Amino acid sequence: MDTQRLRRSPVVLLAGGAAKPELQAAARVKCSYEIAYPGAPDQGHRLLHNCIDAWRGAGFTNIFVYGDAERISPLLARDDYSKLVKVLPEPKGGTTSLSASVFEVLALIEPHLAEGSDRLILSASDMPFLTADSITDMLREIDRQIPADSEPSIVWPVCRVSAYKRRRGDLSGFSCTKLPLSGGELTGGNIFFVEKKKLHELRDVVEKATASRKGTLKLAWLLGPMTVLKLALSLRFAGLRFSVPELEQLVADKLNVTMRAIPCDIPGLSVDIDDKDRYDALRAYYQKWH
């Protein structure tokens, strides 16, 4: 896969919708991207700024934020972020779901796609451990795992759960949705490389997948009852576990889409702060390690 070409694709940081009430009360914010970044000496530096800095530091220049323009624009006014990042405004009243946000983005991003390109990058906006190095390492893994002449419709970096403990500053206190596979437990990343046309074709599936994204067995239903049965049995019998290529083939057969999952040891791609437990874990992490 041509990762140099990927660097010219638009990056959209998804910042639509409000945080859960418990997180709003604990962090004193409306949206998770507004949480003050604990590792920054300047408490005006938010998780959104951290994600923008990471993508910019990795060489991406076509960066957008999708969400409430009235809340986001003041954050971009500091340190000249507004010169580097464009806002894609969500509808008045906000979005009803993650999938609604995705399809709003598809409509808004059309004028900004490079000529002859249909690919864009969707990223969470509340990842505290996302760095330029982690994005660069992710691109190296894509280069290593996907042949140069291959262009899957969807590329999804996923993280080995074991890497949460190996990272300097143990991240195992951060909860994650785990999928036990033959090569070990994996958890989904919060970054997707997607073809716009293919997402439109899969609209119903995307809506169901985003609604079920925190439940492994619910997601498996999208691939049929036999997938659910084998996955359920694999929780008890390790010898029955799927491999990553087997799941990729199931997706191709059932959904008619070429998808590549990219296993890696980069927890920064997976940890987001979308509930109070993770917010508490973030505060505890920085109290311990900084």
> What are the angstrom distances between the C-alpha of 63 and each of 9, 126, 152, 182, 243?
9, 15, 22, 36, 34
Rounded average pLDDT over 80-101:
79
- pLDDT tens per residue, range 245-285: 888 888 888 778 888 999 999 999 999 999 999 999 999 88
Residue 17's pLDDT is 83
Contact between 38 and 290 under an 8 Å Cβ cutoff? The reply is: yes
Euclidean distance between CA atoms 66 and 91, whole angstroms: 10
Euclidean distance between CA atoms 19 and 17, whole angstroms: 7
> What are the angstrom distances between the C-alpha of 82 and each of 69, 72, 77, 110, 267?
12, 10, 5, 20, 29
Domain ranges across the chain: 3-289
Indicate the length of the chain as a whole number.
290
CATH 3.30.420.270 fits 3-289, yes or no: no
- pLDDT tens per residue, range 35-70: 998 766 666 889 999 999 999 999 999 999 999 999
Residue 164's pLDDT is 87
Residue 177's pLDDT is 81
Count of other CB atoms within 10 angstroms of residue 278? 20
User: Residue 145 belongs to what H/E stretch?
Assistant: helix 132-145
Query: pTM (2 decimals)?
Result: 0.88
- pLDDT tens per residue, range 186-219: 888 999 998 888 877 877 767 666 665 566 666 6
- Core vs surface per residue 101-132: b (16+ CB within 10 A) or e: bbbbbbebbeeebeeeeebbbbbbbbbbbbbe
Q: Which amino acid is at 184?
A: G
